[in-house]
Structure 1
Amino acid sequence: MARFGYTLMTEQSGPKELVRYAQRAEEVGFDFEVSSDHFTPWLTTQGHAPHAWTMLGAVAQATSSVEIMTYVTCPTMRYHPAVVAQMSATLQILSEGRFILGLGSGENLNEHVIGEGWPAVQVRQAMLQEAIHIIRELHTGELITWEGQYFRVDSARIWDVPDDGVPLAVAVSGDSSIERFGDLADHLIAVEPQPDLISSWDETHGAGSRKIGQIPISWDPDEQAAIDRAHDQFRWFGGGWAVNSDLPTPAGFAAASQFVRPDDVAGSIPCGPDLDKIAAGVKEYLDAGFTDIALVQVGDEGQSRFLDEAAAPLLATLRAL
Structure 2
Amino acid sequence: MKVGYFLSSEEFTPAELLDQARRAEQAGFESLWISDHYHPWVDAQGQSPFVWSMIGALSQVTTLPITTAVTCPTVRIHPAVLAQAAATSAVLTNGRFVLGVGSGEALNEHIFGDAWPNADVRLEMLEEAVAVMRALWEGGFVNHRGTHYTVENARIYTMPETPPAIYVSGFGPKAVDLAARIGDGYVSTSPDGELVRRFRDGGGGSKPAQGGFKACFAPTEDEAVRIAYERWPNAGVPGELSQVLPSPKHFEQASEMVPPEKMREAHVCGSDPDAHLQQIEQYAKAGFDEVYVSNIGPHQAGFFDLYKSKVLPALKR
Aligned to 1:313: 310
Counterparts in 2 of 1:146 and 1:15: CA distance versus 1, 3 Å: same
- Given that 1:214 and 1:295 are in contact with CA atoms closer than 8 Å, whether structure 2 keeps it comes out as yes
Matches within 5 A, 1:252-291: 252-291=250-289
Contact 1:43 1:250 in 2 (8 A): yes
SS, match of residue 86 in structure 1: helix
Per-residue CA distance 1:78-130 (angstroms, 9 max, x = gap): 11000110000000000001101000011111111122121111111111010
Per-residue deviation, 1:269: 1.5
- CA pair 11-286 structure 1, distance change in 2 beyond 3 A: same
1:216 and 1:306, CA in 2 relative to 1: closer, same or farther beyond 3 A?
Answer: same
Name the CA distance, whole Å, in 2 between partners of 1:162 and 1:62.
Answer: 20
SS in 1 for 2:37: coil
Q: Identity rate of aligned residues, in percent?
A: 34
Residue pair 1:21, 1:304 contacting (<8 A) in 2 also: no
Structure 1: runs of 5 or more not aligned: none
The SS at the match of 1:113 is coil
Specify which of 205, 208, 214 is matched with residue 206 of structure 2: 208
In the alignment, is the contact (CA less than 8 A) between 2:217 and 2:302 conserved in 1?
A: no
How far is the alpha carbon of 1:177 from its aligned partner? 2.2
- Retained in 2: the 8 A contact 1:275–1:317? no
Q: Deviations over 1:202-248 (max 9, x none)?
A: 12234321100111111112222111111111110122451111111
Asked whether 1:54 is paired with 2:53, we answer yes
Instruction: Choose which of 145, 148, 172 in structure 2 pairs with 1:147.
Output: 145
The 3-state SS of whatever aligns with 2:233 is helix
CA contact (8 A) 1:29 1:312 kept: no
For 1:259 and 1:200, locate their aligned partners in 2 and report how far apart those are by CA, in whole Å.
32
CA distance in 2 between partners of 1:168 and 1:105 (Å): 13
What are the ranges of 5 or more consecutive residues in structure 2 without an aligned counterpart?
A: none
Aligned to 1:44: 43
Give the CA RMSD over aligned residues.
Answer: 1.4
Shift of the alpha carbon at 1:309?
Answer: 4.5
What are the within-5 Å matches in structure 2 for residues 1-321 of structure 1?
A: 2-64=1-63, 66-240=64-238, 242-299=240-297, 301-320=298-317
Partner Cα distance (1:164, 1:61) in 2: 20
Change in Cα spacing, 1:34 to 1:312, as seen in structure 2 (3 Å) is: farther
CA contact (8 A) 2:221 2:269 kept: yes
Q: Which runs of 4+ in 1 moved over 6 A?
A: none
Q: How many residues align?
A: 317
CA contact under 8 A between 1:36 and 1:73: conserved in structure 2? yes
CA distance in 1, matches of 2:250, 2:259: 17
User: TM-score under structure 2 normalisation?
Assistant: 0.96
Q: Summarize the Cα distance change of 1:17–1:284 in structure 2 as closer, same or farther, 3 Å threshold.
A: same
Distance (Å, rounded) in 2 between the aligned partners of 1:309 and 1:317: 11
- Using a 3 Å threshold, how does the CA distance of structure 1 residues 140 and 297 change in structure 2: closer, same or farther? same
Contact 2:87/2:159 (8 A) holds in 1: yes
The more displaced of 132-141 and 255-264 is 255-264
1:310 offset after TM fit, Å? 4.0
**Which AA in structure 2 matches 1:32?**
S
Select between 281-290 and 86-95 the one with higher mean Cα deviation.
281-290
Give, in angstroms, the shift of residue 305 of structure 1: 3.2
TM-score of the superposed pair, with normalisation by structure 1: 0.95
- Please give the secondary structure, in 2, of the residue aligned with 1:114: coil
